[in-house]
A and B are shown apart, each in its own frame.
Chain A
């Protein structure tokens, strides 16, 4: 039976035109700052859904949050929902009685209330309009009950039952006013009313709200700024001003602005100073200590360097102007910075090389050994990447040294306290013990790029270590079949792939991806590759498989090597899986840059191409070409040709006169064909010219020239389709023309697989 009425008619009733504002405030104990944005979205979503189910459009909404309240104002709701007449289609009149009984149950009508229209029962149900206030009274408890918080809890006497209401923290009051009337409702022992509370300390008593119109202003009079964006602006501007008044510059931190706005109802930014002696600690450490532990902003001096100031955001207009608050916060920060300075001093008493010795106590992953094991592999790999010239201008010895020390800071006190400082602290410690800048920089930056938009390293030693670290991680996890599935990627392997792509493209590293992965596998097995017979043999086997796979992308489900050694098979399998995954990541990575995913497919589909720099250059040239009139017309011509060829099947014997040799390869200077028209000969001549030009351009990596060669085919193919009939009654002519088309699609394929291109 239908789930929807076949027809719904709105019936005009009086009062629908009047519009009224609605205010809902859900007051609670302090809502975690990080949950407030989500809560605003949730209440809006649920409110709209509830009204929509009642046939109302929620219209324009204001949704606000403070630590102690979630507020929603709907503007201009009608006084009542429209009356509707629903028409339901029932069973045929001659259907079995059970069908009729079911329909009567569903509609709540009796047999004689149904209409018989041409042998089919119809039910017409008139639903009167409902007062919006009644709709709201039902909607509010429903919204509260179905509200999804990241974490919720029970409380109070009611929590003796498992069914008691859940909220993020105890819910303490509901204000629900439609126009100036109370929307009466009750949930979990809390009844709606006109009363709310102002600021916890400035105005602890009850205040009475009259309507949506006076809500925000009444709260403001009671030291509550209910609009979170206004509070954010006060903090942003107030912090900047407090800094400027002291001759300093605020270090902007929008995350901190929003967090502090979520922690205050009456924000008051206050500037304090800490002991200048703490500035010997790296600025990132001070900033992190201040931000993470205390939610303070930091400031820069006129020289652009971190200064000994901080800005805390109080929630009161203190009676002494904030002097005590600043003094208290200064003391807390001093204790924190003392700890940080202690770590900074303690960590530097031991060299990074000695710290690194403790890495054998840290498990990288239970199946993948210790971090010390990983460091050994990465050091070897980084050295090879430099010595083989894959990363140009990289000093192999420095790459090795940097990789050996890159993870040492993981066992330092500072990184133990602030894991997000990994790399950075290693860089500081390396510099302070006098290691070369290239090594210190590589230690500092080897985790980069972390996500899209992060800086991509370009210093050769850094690039070698960064690439080696990520290649090793990827290979190791894939070797143990711990690959990302669906939305699950617990080891951030996709991000590692994206980082590798960014490193390769930014630094224009010219190498086969499969070969890079081969090197990672070689390191994993301790540098030897057993019966693979050396680098070249392994490479060719991997590449052979890779090419094969790419050529028959759809059909290949598994992968075999000729080796009997399971380690070789496992390694090749891991590399194969990765080469499967990289094109997907490349598409993601290039999406933001506006590169079309179908064009990446079109180039990948040719097979054998896993030099990402070259591949992307080709894709970009193709994309530029496809944006031209020549490109779109050529694509149209290609599709037409491909269709005709598909319909013709493979049985047609193509005469040599079309320029295709017996082995299927194109040949220049085909024997003349008597049945050829001018258009045929023009296309043939164009192909004879374009094919070698395109091939030479591709070989020279001048992809724009290759596209130009293709463009030269556009006029002849258009003229060909306009001027001749491919399916000529003369079988010899037909075969000849099919041959020309086959050559044409082949020539296009020399540049990209146009069948993958959309449009």
Chain B
């Protein structure tokens, strides 16, 4: 274990930069986070919409993800209402996707002959996106570090061809590599000369406190309900107007407002299924509109391709 111990583990940002370099070298376009509040990297249109259709699509990006109900006011060492996912989409899924993925773990300092890496069945489903796929959660010494999925359907439509999706939980992975027990203790950046490094807590602890309070206690529920309805209407208008990308933004908005309403505890068990169905309809409608707007071009460029 001499090699691994001698090297200072990567800081949080260096881990991201290493992953960027790794996937860039494998042909991925390195995108930036989507500029809206989303629950997971999958919501980024670069995954949701671009996993549909026949065109090759290889991208990697970091996506800040918000899960209002997971907020713990900065007091839980493992739980955050805002965290980062590292998302890789490779379409069509390459035959050596597992090997490429394992290479990325090696790149950030995980030695597979020292650590026990395992692919454990975990099929993925997103009821709000009308999406599902088969795959695994990847374990490193018993800890889930990545969700690995072969998309089969998105927005209720078959993925043809199938895209492979890798979703790394960056904080977990960093806590593992840096061997810290509290997320706020992560080295976010390393000191350079006189410039001190910062910790994850320096950057985000106060955010967690304030947003937990806002999510659970402060957010005005009438405004949220109103926003949900407005986003729903706007999504339908945008679909009708033939601008599915704009429609999808509204679907994302509605989804996040629903999550906030959940955190405020104002959606009953019975209503919950109803709201989820409404969000799913928006996401599916946007996906369908996206397909409708592109399928003529797809069919022309990829003879033989059908929905």
The chain A residues found within 8 Å of chain B, CB to CB, are 29-30, 32-34, 67, 151-162, 168-170, 172, 200-202, 263, 294, 296, 312, 314-316, 318-320, 323-325, 327-329, 331-333, 335, 361, 363
Q: What residues of B have a CB within 8 angstroms of the CB of A161 in the complex?
A: 160, 304
B140 on the A face (CB < 8 A): yes
Known: A152-B134, A333-B142. 10 other contacts (CB 8 A): A29-B119, A30-B136, A34-B121, A151-B134, A159-B93, A159-B159, A160-B92, A312-B116, A319-B1, A320-B114
Residue from the list B114, B135, B136, B304 in contact with A319, Cβ < 8 A: B114
Q: Are A331 and B92 in contact (CB under 8 A)?
A: no
Q: Are B121 and A32 in contact (CB under 8 A)?
A: yes
Q: Are A153 and B152 in contact (CB under 8 A)?
A: yes
| Distance of A30 Cα from B54 Cα, bound (Å) | 26
Q: What residues of B have a CB within 8 angstroms of the CB of A169 in the complex?
A: 134-135, 150
Q: What residues of B have a CB within 8 angstroms of the CB of A157 in the complex?
A: 92, 161
Q: What residues of A have a CB within 8 angstroms of the CB of B134 in the complex?
A: 151-153, 168-169
Q: Are B54 and A160 in contact (CB under 8 A)?
A: yes
Residue from the list A170, A202, A319, A324 in contact with B150, Cβ < 8 A: A170
Q: What residues of B have a CB within 8 angstroms of the CB of A363 in the complex?
A: 269
Q: Are A325 and B141 in contact (CB under 8 A)?
A: yes
Q: Are B95 and A172 in contact (CB under 8 A)?
A: yes
| Distance of A450 Cα from B259 Cα, bound (Å) | 38
Q: List 12 A-B contacts (CB under 8 A).
A: A30-B136, A34-B121, A153-B150, A155-B162, A158-B161, A160-B305, A296-B142, A318-B114, A324-B114, A327-B141, A331-B141, A331-B181
Q: Are B115 and A328 in contact (CB under 8 A)?
A: yes
| Distance of A200 Cα from B95 Cα, bound (Å) | 15
Q: Are B112 and A201 in contact (CB under 8 A)?
A: yes
Known: A160-B161, A316-B116, A324-B115. A329 touches B141 (CB 8 A): yes
Q: Are B176 and A328 in contact (CB under 8 A)?
A: yes
Specify the chain B residue showing the minimal Cβ separation from A172: B95
Question: For chain B, what secondary structure do more than half of its interface residues adopt (helix, strand, loop), or is it mixed?
Answer: loop
Specify the chain A residue showing the minimal Cβ separation from B138: A30
| Distance of A152 Cα from B112 Cα, bound (Å) | 28
B274 on the A face (CB < 8 A): no
Known: A155-B93, A159-B162, A332-B143. A320 touches B54 (CB 8 A): no
| Interface size range of chain B in the complex | 35 or more
Q: What residues of B have a CB within 8 angstroms of the CB of A30 in the complex?
A: 119-121, 136
Residue from the list A168, A263, A314, A332 in contact with B120, Cβ < 8 A: A263
Q: Are B114 and A160 in contact (CB under 8 A)?
A: no
Known: A159-B159, A328-B140, A332-B141. A33 touches B121 (CB 8 A): yes
| Distance of A388 Cα from B168 Cα, bound (Å) | 63
Q: Are A320 and B112 in contact (CB under 8 A)?
A: no
| Distance of A223 Cα from B28 Cα, bound (Å) | 34
Please give me the 3 A-B residue pairs with the lowest Cβ-Cβ distance, nearest first.
A328-B141, A32-B121, A30-B119
Smallest CB–CB gap between B69 and chain A, Å?
14
Q: Are A319 and B113 in contact (CB under 8 A)?
A: yes
Residue from the list B120, B142, B161, B302 in contact with A156, Cβ < 8 A: B161
B185 on the A face (CB < 8 A): no
| Distance of A333 Cα from B143 Cα, bound (Å) | 9
Smallest CB–CB gap between B294 and chain A, Å?
15
Q: What residues of A have a CB within 8 angstroms of the CB of B143 in the complex?
A: 328, 331-332
| Distance of A332 Cα from B102 Cα, bound (Å) | 21
Smallest CB–CB gap between A209 and chain B, Å?
21
Q: Are B120 and A316 in contact (CB under 8 A)?
A: no
Q: Are B136 and A156 in contact (CB under 8 A)?
A: no
Q: What residues of B have a CB within 8 angstroms of the CB of A202 in the complex?
A: 113
Specify the chain B residue showing the minimal Cβ separation from A268: B116
Q: What residues of B have a CB within 8 angstroms of the CB of A327 in the complex?
A: 141
Smallest CB–CB gap between A322 and chain B, Å?
8
Q: What residues of B have a CB within 8 angstroms of the CB of A33 in the complex?
A: 121
Smallest CB–CB gap between A410 and chain B, Å?
13
B127 on the A face (CB < 8 A): no
B261 on the A face (CB < 8 A): no
B15 on the A face (CB < 8 A): no
Q: What residues of A have a CB within 8 angstroms of the CB of B95 in the complex?
A: 156, 170, 172
Task: Scan B123-147; emit 1 where CB is below 8 A from any A CB, else 0.
Answer: 1000000000111100011110000
| Distance of A318 Cα from B164 Cα, bound (Å) | 29
Smallest CB–CB gap between B83 and chain A, Å?
15
B278 on the A face (CB < 8 A): no
Q: Are A156 and B116 in contact (CB under 8 A)?
A: no
Q: What residues of A have a CB within 8 angstroms of the CB of B136 in the complex?
A: 30
Smallest CB–CB gap between A395 and chain B, Å?
36
